[in-house]
Amino acid sequence: MKKYLTIAGIGLALALGSCTKEAKEIASATLNSTATSQTIGKAKFYSLADGKIKMDLEINMPERADSTVAVHFHEHGDCGNMGENTHGHWNPTNEPHGKWESANYHSGDIGNIKLDNKGHATLSVSTDRWNTNTGNIKNIIGRGIIVHGGTDDYTTQPTGNSGPRIGCGVIEVIK
């Protein structure tokens, strides 16, 4: 019996060790309210074995329970002036604004996120549209993440008519 437990333990250790090779955290952003500077969420970015980057986003805004908010990456990582210093949507490929994975969309068009009755939501996105390579147009480091107070209509150019900027964070590399 002891032999089987040892083998099972080794197998578990190998399985867990292989998981860490597939997804390595490379960047993160803390999202704060633009009105109060209170933390409202976190975005974590992982490098995947297939070369893609995965973002795990979590938002906690009890005051916005049972509502939908839009989230976009913006050009600059400066949350000053109620998030306005992030400027426009990050769009390195000069495509029309749209819904994630539609025919055309900005690389920063994350989209609408439904908050539950406690104001909590999570979203995971994996893509090859992002990287962390200095000088590359797909580099997400230093970009702003904006939480908008309205929903994205996925049509209005270039913003989706998503409403005011109620949350902001800056994507920073993990050292």
CB count, 10 Å around CB of 148? 22
pTM: 0.86
**Can you tell me the distance from the alpha carbon of 114 to that of 143, in angstroms, rounded to the nearest whole number?**
23
- Structural domains of the chain ordered from first start: 22-173 (2.60.40.200)
Per-residue pLDDT tens over the stretch 103-128:
889 999 999 999 999 999 999 999 99
What is the amino acid identity at position 1?
Answer: M
Residues 92, 167: contact at Cβ < 8 Å?
no
Per-residue pLDDT tens over the stretch 62-107:
999 999 999 999 999 999 999 999 999 999 999 999 998 888 899 9
